[in-house]
Amino acid sequence: MRSHRIAVIPGDGIGQEVIEAGKKVLSALAEKSGDLCFEFVDFDWSSQRYLEKGEYIPAGGLDKLSRFDAIYFGAVGSQDVPDHISLWELRLAICQGFDQYANVRPARVLPGVNSRLKGAESIDWIIVRENSEGEYSGNGGRVHQGFPDEVGTEVSVFTKKGVERIHRFAFQLAQSRPRKQLTLVTKSNAQRYGMVLWDEVFFEVAKDYPDVSIDRELVDAVTTRMVLKPETMDVIVATNLHADILSDLAAALSGSLGIAPTANLNPARTFPSMFEPIHGSAFDIAGKGIANPVGSFWTAVMMLEHLGESTAAERLMAAIERLTASGLQTKDLGGTATTRDVTQAICADIERQ
């Protein structure tokens, strides 16, 4: 029996609902396989906890988390806590604390899903988001607060080490795909220091991967290319902020933010990696039972792949595709199904296979 210890952090809003659904699906998969099991340990780290106890992660929390095989995360964000506190105290504390520098975001139109974009069937991208530095370095400050000459700075930091490792990761990922194509996203026309280093290191690393075809696109231009020529891209590497924005666009073009998954990888495996749907806490629909759990199921597929459970990952992905093809879809995809309907359907499918 292969057993995996999974730390579960549902977090805020619909994170609670979709991660509960994901656990059910993973348990159904384990039960069906007979030789696989998951030990889920729940953590109540959330904005609710912050409001009650003044902290998202308790003392020693990251140390405890470091002993798990993977982390299954929901969402963070609350109307009652400023966003810069919730994001930095929970999601970024884990991503940066565990050096999960490679954030991987696939985008594809699943069977039966309608995109508003003509030609969207050709979307088959993986966006690689630098996940440890850049615009999210936390380097800045505020002085003269409350006075007319108040100043706020937010300084992006690009280190050669940080840039090289994410480009290398993106090249290796592109190399593993049939089209072997990698697009560098940049803004080095306007930002002439960090972004120029970002570009220079990319072209240096490219020499080690001659079989990968490359191109370079400014971040503003790449948005139009994603809409007008989606078939021309494969793997896309972008900075922390640029990739965050582009992946929301990619998810919307693929049908809905509700289906998009993410892996926050520590490729060296010195710490556990963290898997989460791209969407946030969506408090406008939280508690209504209508959130789309497909993003958390696809996220579970990425977690299974990372855990070396490729057969289970393929089985789950096939079940997700049968589900979307069946037309049983939540409101974000134009349907009327609830989170529970979709979860029950996929568990039943896994049981039948």
Distance CA 28, CA 334 (A): 27
- Contact set for ligand GGG, span 177-236 (CB under 6 A): none
- Asked if 244 interacts with ligand GGG (CB under 6 A), we say yes
Question: Which residue, 276 or 349, is less far from ligand GGG as judged by CB?
Answer: 276
- Asked if 294 interacts with ligand GGG (CB under 6 A), we say no
Return the closest-CA partner of residue 88 out of 143, 119, 122, 47. Answer: 47
Give the residue at shortest CB distance from ligand GGG.
75
Q: E strands, the chain, where?
A: 2-11, 36-42, 70-75, 102-108, 124-130, 140-143, 151-154, 181-186, 213-218, 235-238, 261-265, 273-277
Return the closest-CA partner of residue 346 out of 282, 305, 293. Answer: 293
- Asked if 293 interacts with ligand GGG (CB under 6 A), we say no
Binding part of the chain for ligand GGG, among 71-79, 105-113, 115-123, 323-331 by CB under 6 A, reads 71-79
Distance CA 282, CA 219 (A): 27
Distance CA 214, CA 236 (A): 10
SS3 248: helix
6, 21, 75, 170: which one contacts ligand GGG (CB under 6 A)? 75
7, 76, 110, 303: which one contacts ligand GGG (CB under 6 A)? 76
- Asked if 8 interacts with ligand GGG (CB under 6 A), we say no
29, 46, 50, 77: which one contacts ligand GGG (CB under 6 A)? 77
**Residue count at the site for ligand GGG (CB under 6 A)?**
10
Question: Which residue, 183 or 240, is less far from ligand GGG as judged by CB?
Answer: 240
- Contact set for ligand GGG, span 80-119 (CB under 6 A): 87, 91
SS3 351: helix
Does residue 253 contact residue 120 with C-beta atoms inside 8 Å? yes
- Asked if 276 interacts with ligand GGG (CB under 6 A), we say yes
Interface positions with ligand GGG (CB under 6 A): 75-77, 87, 91, 244, 276-278, 280
